[in-house]
């Protein structure tokens, strides 16, 4: 597994704390002064665990103000965490990795840099002293809860609504003008997010070899960004399907505004209910929500929807084959809070499933750092509108969303997950 690059020297801690939403900006109910009563004996369990750190370093400030420093024998990133009370230990013993995220949502700890801290913790997970994932019953219970949200037809729409129907106003606060809620592809590191999203659209259209006479099926509309781009720049007809009523309404509005409503048709429909055949199929970061038991159905649906000789372009998040077996038998933070019923597939298995369905995989390319950079930009944008987010929801929701963005950014930077673009061809 590749290690993330060590970041340049950080800003002075007080400045960074204020910018990144550290304790000075927390509401009274979550402020450090409101969370007293830590038990040193309990916290020693956590300190004992951190003694195993081998990569990078970690500063831990205890509730009484004491600072503990842990340094590994190998160079790596530097994490900082301020423990507000001893409930962190209870959360970790109950839920392991997910429990540490639960503790953050509860306001039990903070950090000036979430991604850096999570990176240190992830890289050192094999080396901690003591059982980090101690509660096996908790892991089994989490797995059962995840399986209960499997994406059968009745549950798939509820799972999608859980995330995407938070409201268009929320996503408009921090997404760019394309409203693309998927990774951008950067032509250069300093490229603006909007331009990088358009660059992603171009990459996908070129994989499809789109022509004006083509009829394109899009599985997963988002807010209509790619469908509008394809109709505008290539003159093709697009049939785009989604399970989110919020996205559907906004996509229809945006297509009308762009003057392509006569060429783009959005519909509330499950991919398993598609009828007819199309010249091309595109699916951008939708398969992740399908669920492992429905992957064969997903690829079969694409194959059936394509005319002979047609091609599909897929952009999706993959997971390292090295950790897949462990990942697939537990519930992680994303599955618990963000995408219930979701599951990531290793790239090799993804291509094998496509082959079994009668589709020939071609030209896979990977863009992990592009996704990490996209997530970092989204995180900055969320912080810029933090007050509006708290007014829409609450402080706990903001912390959940920030943890989600940093958790994913960490995954892409350390190489546990990746972003793949791939072409699937149906023989003529």
Q: What is the pLDDT of residues 302-346, one digit of tens each?
A: 999 999 999 999 999 999 999 999 898 888 899 888 888 889 999
Mean pLDDT on 387-410: 96
Report the CATH number that the domain containing residue 227 is assigned in CATH: 3.40.50.150
Q: Are residues 128 and 171 in the same domain?
A: no
Active site residue 408: yes
Q: Are residues 316 and 412 in the same domain?
A: yes
Task: Please give the share of the chain, as a percent, with pLDDT higher than 90.
Answer: 71
Q: At which of 134, 167, 188 does a domain end?
A: 134
Greater model confidence, 68 or 13? 68
Task: Please give the share of the chain, as a percent, with pLDDT higher than 70.
Answer: 82
pTM for this prediction: 0.85
CA 241, CA 251: separation in Å to the nearest integer?
Answer: 10
Q: At which of 99, 134, 169 does a domain end?
A: 134
CA 175, CA 377: separation in Å to the nearest integer?
Answer: 9
pLDDT-derived band at 150, boundaries 50, 70, 90: low
Q: How many domains does the chain have?
A: 2
Q: Are residues 76 and 203 in the same domain?
A: no
Q: What is the CA radius of gyration of the chain?
A: 22
Q: Are residues 174 and 201 in the same domain?
A: yes
Ranking 29-33, 167-171, 361-365 by mean pLDDT, the lowest is: 29-33
Half-sphere exposure of 192 (CA within 13 A, CB side): 7
| 141 found inside a domain | no
CA 243, CA 36: separation in Å to the nearest integer?
Answer: 45
Give 386-415 as a DSSP string.
Answer: HHHHHHHS-HHHHHHHHHHHHHHHHHHHHT
Q: Are residues 274 and 192 in the same domain?
A: yes
Domain that holds residue 60: 13-134
pLDDT at 7: 32
pLDDT at 362 over 80: yes
Q: CA 73 → CA 54, 55, 387, 413, distances in Å?
A: 5, 6, 41, 21
| 239 found inside a domain | yes
Q: Using alpha carbons only, what angle is made at residue 390 by residues 18 and 179, rounded to the nearest 5 degrees?
A: 100
Q: Are residues 255 and 330 in the same domain?
A: yes
- Mean pLDDT for all residues in the chain: 86
pLDDT at 149: 53
pLDDT at 62: 94
Q: Are residues 255 and 363 in the same domain?
A: yes
Q: Are residues 305 and 336 in the same domain?
A: yes
| 142 found inside a domain | no
Mean pLDDT on 198-223: 98
pLDDT at 57 over 80: yes
Mean pLDDT on 41-48: 83
The sign one gets for the Cα dihedral 131, 134, 140, 141 is negative
| 145 found inside a domain | no
Report the CATH number that the domain containing residue 65 is assigned in CATH: 3.30.1050
pLDDT at 77 over 50: yes
pLDDT-derived band at 248, boundaries 50, 70, 90: very high
| 139 found inside a domain | no
Q: CA 386 → CA 288, 348, 382, 383, distances in Å?
A: 28, 39, 6, 5
| 401 found inside a domain | yes
- Identify the active-site residue in 236, 345, 408, 410: 408
Q: Are residues 352 and 231 in the same domain?
A: yes
Greater model confidence, 56 or 141? 56
């Amino acid at each position: 597994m590749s290690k993330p690059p060590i970041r340049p020297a950080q800003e002075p801690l007080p400045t960074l704390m204020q910018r990144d939403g550290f304790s000075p900006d927390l509401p009274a109910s979550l402020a450090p002064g409101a969370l007293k009563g830590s038990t040193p004996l309990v916290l020693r369990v956590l300190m004992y665990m951190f003694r195993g750190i081998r990569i990078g370093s970690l500063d831990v400030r205890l509730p009484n103000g004491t600072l503990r420093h842990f340094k590994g024998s190998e160079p790596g990133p530097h994490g900082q965490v301020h423990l507000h009370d001893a409930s962190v230990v209870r959360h970790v013993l109950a839920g392991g990795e997910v429990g540490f995220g639960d503790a953050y949502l509860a306001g039990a700890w903070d950090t000036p840099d979430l991604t850096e801290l999570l990176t240190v913790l992830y890289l050192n997970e094999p080396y901690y002293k003591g059982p980090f994932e101690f509660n096996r019953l908790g892991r089994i219970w989490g797995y059962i809860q995840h399986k209960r949200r499997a994406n059968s037809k009745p549950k798939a729409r509820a799972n999608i609504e859980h995330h995407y129907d938070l409201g268009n106003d929320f996503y408009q606060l921090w997404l760019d003008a394309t409203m693309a809620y998927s990774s951008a592809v950067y032509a250069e590191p300093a490229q603006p997010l909007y331009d990088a999203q358009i660059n992603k659209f171009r990459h996908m259209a070129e994989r499809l070899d789109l022509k004006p006479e083509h009829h394109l099926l899009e599985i997963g509309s988002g807010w209509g960004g790619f469908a509008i781009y394809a109709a505008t720049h290539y003159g093709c007809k697009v049939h785009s399907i989604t399970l989110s009523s919020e996205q559907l309404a906004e996509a229809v509005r945006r297509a009308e505004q762009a003057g392509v409503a006569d060429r783009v048709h959005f519909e509330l429909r499950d991919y398993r209910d598609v009828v007819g055949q199309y010249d091309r199929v595109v699916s951008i970061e939708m398969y992740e929500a399908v669920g492992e038991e429905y992957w064969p159905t997903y690829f079969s649906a694409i194959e059936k929807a394509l005319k002979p000789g047609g091609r599909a372009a897929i952009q999706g998040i993959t997971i390292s084959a090295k950790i897949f077996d462990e990942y697939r038998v537990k519930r992680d933070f994303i599955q618990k809070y963000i995408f219930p019923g979701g599951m990531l597939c290793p790239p090799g298995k993804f291509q094998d499933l496509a082959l079994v369905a009668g589709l020939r995989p071609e030209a896979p390319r990977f863009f992990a750092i592009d996704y990490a950079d996209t997530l970092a930009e989204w995180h900055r944008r969320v912080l810029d509108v933090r007050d509006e987010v708290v007014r829409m929801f609450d402080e706990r929701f903001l912390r959940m969303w920030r943890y989600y963005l940093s958790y994913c950014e960490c995954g892409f930077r350390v190489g546990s997950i990746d972003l793949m673009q791939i072409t699937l061809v149906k023989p003529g």
